[in-house]
Amino acid sequence: MEKYTLRSSGMTLPTASADRVGSRSSIHRHWLIAQLWAVLLGAGFITHQYGLLPSVCDLHFAVPHPPSQPVETYPEAPVCPWIPPLIPSNAALLTALYTELGSAAFFNYTALVHSGAVQIPTFTQDEMGPVGEDPAWKKFTKLHEYFEWTYPLVHHTLKRELVNTYGLLYTWQGSDLDLKPILLTGHQATVPVDEETRDQWVYPPFSGHFDGERVWGRGAIDDKATITSTFVALESLIAHGFTPKRTILLAFGFDEEAGGRRGAAHVASFLLTRYGSSSLAFVLDEGTGYLPELGAMYAMPSTAEKGYYDVRLTVQTRGGHSALPPPHTSIGILAALVAAIEENPAPSRLTRTNPLYETLQCIAEHSPGLEEDVRGLIKQSRTSDKALEGVAQWLRSGGLATEANPLAPNEVLMRTTQAVDLFHGGVKANQLPQLAWAVVNHRIHIESSMAEVEDHLIEVLTPHVERFNLSLSAFDRPIIADNAGTTGSLELVDPYGTARDPLMGTPSRGPVWELLSGTIQSVFARTDGFPHSQSTPDAVSEVVRRIHVAPIPAGGSTDAYHYQQLSANIHRYAHFRPEGMDGGHGLNEWMSISNMLGAVEFVMTLVLNADEAEL
């Protein structure tokens, strides 16, 4: 295995070997932290000079967690019950974990290991060749090697298996085989960086720059933050001597950003063969975190997931010399078709079976800053369809969404969205384009379907196809036949084979929901929601020790979709707060280590609670 070098420092970190990790004691964890700190001390001047890390004198030393305080409880609300904190019973272990979480060394250790993961590019494209044939997949091997030497206790204690070459499956075998396993999942892949925007990044996108509080780079949030927080949590649990009764599975796919067909889908099939249908207590994947809403704090695990449909529109005309142009070239026709799609979005609708509706009921119960007429409308909508439409109209007009709070529940969760993400046409300035194409990405309303997307597009585009005298083939169906009078054609297809219907069905009641909610409440109440933060408390500070857990649909697609046969309880939740991160899928992606430590504590607590729960 190769050694890894801190960028620009020339310093190498040792690889893991079996004799280093033969014991589960905390000595080995402290050894690893000591070695990492030795590298920082030795490389401090050089890394500071090149901007990767601050000098040792500039490193951020975090303020330890405040001591645990009693949590105020109050009677359950009739619609949105508050679930009290669920605290693991092993007080000695918790004290040791909390002490470690609050140390400056642990803060900087977490920053360093996350920075290293971000420094390894693992982006994927929509169109990649098969695994084993396309060399672009080989980049994941380097990330696997990095994980192996960075987390020696995990790799000594858990069984690691490679699925379809680059999918990672870890098994921490529990002592009680009668208990259903749990699955914690995430993905190794990131989206690419637009090369034309590199000069707009504050720090190079694969530098993993640590500024004392934040790690910068592509994947710092999505989704290496999930992987880092999971590994760091388990590494610490092992170091402190924890051994589970309930089997714990980790699964990290490698092509989630392209639909997960090569990664998570293969892992799911592998697990289905090994454990059988409905064999897991729950699946937890990346997802929405927690945020303030009008004077109260909410965590929003996703219990449903929108569908996904990329549709490519291809216009083909005869082409020719640009000195003799027709009234509309293929590019002009395609532009008109795209404009028609954007001017006719799918209608929005709010139903009482949409998890969004349950979140709105929680906000009406617990947010003191909600306008009273809106609060009344939301409560009336429980029995009045007219009031329900009034709530929908309120969301359409802005509702809870603000520029400062873009992740708030909003009207996009009531409809199928569409975004024109790719557009191509033409090969030369004086040559009429024969071919022009665009790809429209759809996120399908949880109570809609791929079939409805197809029908909507055909309905919107048919009048324009007739106006331009084109033939139309849509999803392998002839809609308008080609004949001697047509001047070209329009074809609608799924170009990547990644389309899928929405997924619903995870309950927001019962033992798994109570486990998840109680764990969120426990972590939030102990840390005031943002461990290690030195920022000014926000407007909800007076209720910061109380958090409400409400379900919501996931606006995007996740690898969790592929595990639906393994469990009825599929949740998408990451214990992150939006002001502690920015730039996901865009420019200047960064993750606050203060934010990440909350996620580390969440994973630790969830694992301990799941080990004691009856699921």
Annotated binding site: 187, 222, 257, 285, 585
Residue pair 591/579 in contact (Cβ under 8 Å)? The answer is no
What's the residue count for the chain? 615
* Residue position matching structure tokens 């071919």: 435
Q: Where are the beta strands (DSSP E) in 538-589?
A: 547-549, 552-554, 570-573, 581-582
Rounded CA-CA distance 473/458 in Å is 9
Closest CA to 268 of 174, 190, 167: 167
Rounded CA-CA distance 161/170 in Å is 6
Rounded CA-CA distance 408/541 in Å is 18
* Feature table: binding site for Zn(2+): 187, 222, 257, 285, 585
Sheet holding 590-592, edge to edge: 214-216, 590-592, 581-582
Rounded CA-CA distance 389/352 in Å is 11
Sheet holding 570-573, edge to edge: 159-163, 167-172, 248-253, 182-187, 282-288, 570-573, 302-305, 552-554
Rounded CA-CA distance 610/615 in Å is 8
- The dihedral over CA atoms of 16, 262, 416, 222, expressed in degrees to the nearest 10, equals 10
Q: Where are the beta strands (DSSP E) in 505-576?
A: 547-549, 552-554, 570-573
Q: What sign does the dihedral 579-610-275-234 (CA atoms) show?
A: positive
Rounded CA-CA distance 170/115 in Å is 22
Phi, psi (rounded to 5 degrees) for 83: -100, 125
Rounded CA-CA distance 224/574 in Å is 12
* Residue position matching structure tokens 């929509």: 126
